Structure 1
Amino acid sequence: MKEKSNIISLVNPNLVTQIGDSLGSGIPYMPLPLAYLAACLINKYNLNVIDAFGEDPFKVWQKENFIAQGITISEVVKRINPSSRCIIIYYSSVMASIIIDEMMNSLKAEYPQIPIIIIENSQAVIGCSLKHIIDKLFACGADYVVFGECEERVPNIIDIIIKSDLNKLDLIDGIAYKAQNGMLKILPQKKNIANLDRLPFPAWEYFALDKYWKLRYAHGPMEGEYLAIMTSRGCPYSCNFCVIPSTNQKKWRARSYKNVVDELEYMVNKFNVKEFHWEDVNPTVNEERIIEICKLIIDRELKIKWKLASGSKIETMRLETLEWMKKAGCNYISFSPESGSKHVLKLMNKPFDHDYALDMVRHMNRIGIKSQACFVLGYPGEEENDLKQTEIYIKKLTKAGVDEIALFIMTPIPGTETFGQISGYKNFSELTFSPAWRDDFEILSTFRMRLYKKFLLWKIIYHPFKVFRQMINLLRRRFESKAEMNIYRALRLKYMVARGTNKC
């Protein structure tokens, strides 16, 4: 076996919370794209993985109007191996922009000879399309920017860098770089990875999993030690407020049912985890695949819990599908009506069947699958009557048994159809789901808080035991819903800040 002599540094940035906004920012996602990339590089290179958040999530420091969790930028700079052939930075979320930009500047100042590669978070709604902020990235010190999936593009770029064969860069689609004449060259994204089963499983051994677990909160409701998994990529729908159509070329691709269950079994055996948070935004597009996944989980006697944490198109499932999912360990499904108004849904280009969703929620309630309904407020063109229809529909969902709601105020993420329609933010980190810079924010924020209070009241009336159970879950720190966990998250962060915050 050939000795691995080249060192590659990979950086996961800090988790960022906008001060005063525990609803729309500060939600930790495990760095799936970086773990996949590490798995693709492990056999050829020595990896130096720096998880700025995960290495010390209990350390907090302030940058302008934001709180960062994890080690400081200066500590990240010190942990870079000076012999690295390149530094790969994961652009985890648009909200982390203020930290990532400074991190790039600092790394380039300290290691001007080491190329910096920026990779996109192409599978999450908190990510952004890097081609829409390309000038800023290069101004901050990037040498290469990768659009879409990184697992094939980045190894090709590294190979070209090491061989000093820069003329071959034009053979790679979906990247941007500065040519030798100083001109910015953008090669459009032409393809996605067709066969996702070819990819190795994420290399979680490079990340401080025990510290993620000790944090006691995650993106999905955390009952115990967990791992993130992605069973599909992209989405076949084209909602105007969502970045996924841009970063995935409006295509959905899925791993085979066997490959998914192979990973579940592998992670159970390797890390002794029994809980999995599915982070694909639409894993149930192929209903037959989901049922086959469930059957194989049962056949292999995997005693696990799993949650659709990032959402699913509820109309792609039937009652029978829910039954199979429950038998196989699924105990949480997030779905997104977005609005109770058909007028707003048309503006969003969002198909949704309100009545069908009510039937599905009733059945989830009967068989013991917790449910979350997500809504977007303040979409351009939305009127007071539209908000009223959303309120009416949420009351119907509450009576049907929905366990929690999430109310996000629309923010124009780079790469969405709404990008550029609303202005007023000073930097991209302000593009949280509580955009205080919007002229109508106070109106929307007041409506949101009132609706949350009404939801709680309706829940006490229709399902009082659920409210009591959520209080017990909060005290036990074993969460069955994001709402319970988010209360804990806000209190935990407040305690960490009070204990001591450094300004950077």
Structure 2
Amino acid sequence: GSISRKHEVRILDQMLEKDSYKKMLKTVLNENPDVIGVSPYTKDIHSTRELLMRLTKVIPDVKIVVGGVQITLMPKETFQYFWDYIDFGFVGESEVAFSKFIDALNVGVGSEALEEFKNLVWKKNGQIMVNERERPEHLDKIPFPRWELMDPRKYPMSPHGAFYKQHPFAPLITSRGCPFGCTFCAAAAVSGKKVRYRSLDNIFEEIKLLQKKFSVREIHIEDDNFSINKNRAIEFSERMLKENLGITWCFPNGLRLDSLDLLSLELMNKAGCHSVNVG
């Protein structure tokens, strides 16, 4: 959503489209993009490198950028793994930085200027450079996702989590960051230990947009730790009751069990929450 509308953007989601390499390459050739971005998880890096190897053969001048969790946690190692097939990487929450970077690529950018882009990973004289990282402090300033590029109505019944009550549904992030350091979770490493919040007005504006334009009937909250602020969880539930949108909601990404109590859970359930994963 942060990328300027002057740039034409298309998303090829292989979890949805399940194209063969051959079909995907044909699509990319037809589009003839200036920049290709990929966001592989650790389990996907081998197949992603194979794909990028094929892409660079058929579109040698395209700029290829890697983002996501894997490169965020291991920037130099991941960049080295993709060395022959990528130009840049971005770590962490890079909506703002990546948008500025795309604008700069449009007019040309030299190596001195590359040092100024936050969150950027790049090559300089055969060395891997990892720029200073920043995280957006005021989440309300970040534009909503370009939902028209990933219409919730087209997605399968349960892309994340095994349970739902209504379809179509959409993922939603209302806060970022988690102060804890659970060994099974990368949230603090990716989004930091300081929790940053969207305002309720901003959240419900997006929910209403999803409901009006895409007939969304359920929200899957993907926060790192939604319930850490109990008062905010209560305020969210009360707002959901007040808005009376007929929306159900759940937590496939999980909540901390020690941050919950019976009264809060009863209010959440009354407001439409039907299931939580805990950890």
Normalising by structure 1, what TM-score? 0.51
Deviation per CA, 1:384-409: give whole Å up to 9, x if none: xxxxxxxxxxxxxxxxxxxxxxxxxx
Match of 1:268 among 201, 211, 214: 211
CA distance in 1, matches of 2:278, 2:169: 21
Match of 1:217 in 2: 158
CA distance in structure 2 between the partners assigned to 1:111 and 1:121 by the alignment: 26
- Residue matched to 1:108: 56
Kindly provide the amino acid, as one letter, of the partner of residue 45 in structure 2.
S
Tell me the equivalent position of 1:238. 181
Partner amino acid, structure 2, of 1:104:
L
- How far apart, in 2, do the equivalents of 1:305 and 1:121 lie? 29
In our comparison, the structure showing a higher alpha carbon Rg is 1
2: CA distance, partners of 1:82 / 1:182? 31
Query: C-alpha separation between the residues in 1 aligned to 2:79 and 2:274?
Result: 40
Q: Does the 8 Å CA contact 1:148/1:248 hold for their aligned counterparts?
A: yes
8 Å CA contact 2:152, 2:216 repeated in 1: no
Contact 2:79–2:128, Cα closer than 8 Å, also in 1: no
8 Å CA contact 1:117–1:145 kept in 2: the answer is yes
Note the C-alpha offset of 1:332. Answer: 0.5
Q: Retained in 2: the 8 A contact 1:50–1:79? A: no
List gaps (5 residues or longer) in structure 1. Answer: 1-38, 56-69, 337-504
1:69-218 equivalences in 2 (<5 Å): 70-80=18-28, 81=30, 83-91=32-40, 93-121=41-69, 129-131=73-75, 132-139=77-84, 141-166=85-110, 167-179=112-124, 181-189=125-133, 191-207=134-150, 209-213=152-156, 216-218=157-159
Relative distance call for 1:184 and 1:82 in structure 2 (3 A) is: farther
Alignment-derived partner of residue 201 in structure 2: 258
Deviation of the 1:248 alpha carbon: 2.2
Residue deviations 1:363-414 (CA, integer Å, cap 9, x gap): xxxxxxxxxxxxxxxxxxxxxxxxxxxxxxxxxxxxxxxxxxxxxxxxxxxx
What SS does the aligned partner of 2:274 have? strand
Q: Does the 8 Å contact 2:94/2:119 carry over to 1?
A: no
Structure 2 regions of 5+ residues with no counterpart?
A: none
| Alpha-carbon separation, structure 2, partners of 1:188 and 1:128 | 12
Per the TM alignment, residue 163 of structure 1 is displaced from its structure 2 partner at its CA by: 1.5
3-state DSSP class of the match of 2:216? coil
TM-score, normalised relative to structure 2: 0.90
Distance 2:131 2:177 in 1: 21
* Distance in 2 of aligned mates of 1:52 and 1:218: 12
The answer for the alignment partner of 2:6 in structure 1 is 44
Q: Which string of whole-angstrom CA distances, capped at 9 and with x for unpartnered residues, describes residues 470-491 of structure 1?
A: xxxxxxxxxxxxxxxxxxxxxx
Query: Match of 2:44, as an amino acid?
Result: A
Report deviation, 1:291.
1.3
The answer on whether the counterparts of 1:147 and 1:175 sit within 8 Å (CA) in structure 2 is: yes
Structure 1 segment 296-311 matched on structure 2, within 5 A: 296-311=239-254
1:332 corresponds, among 271, 275, 279, to: 275
Asked if 2 retains the 8 angstrom alpha-carbon contact of 1:231 and 1:254, the reply is yes
Aligned CA-pair RMSD:
2.0
CA distance in 1 between counterparts of 2:211 and 2:160 reads 20
Match among 270, 278, 282 for residue 225 of structure 2: 282
Give 1:83 deviation, angstroms.
4.1
Using the TM superposition, give the Cα deviation of residue 268 of structure 1 relative to its aligned residue in structure 2, in angstroms: 1.0
For this pair of structures, how many residues does the alignment match? Answer: 274
1:128: how far off?
6.4
- TM superposition shift of 1:300: 1.3
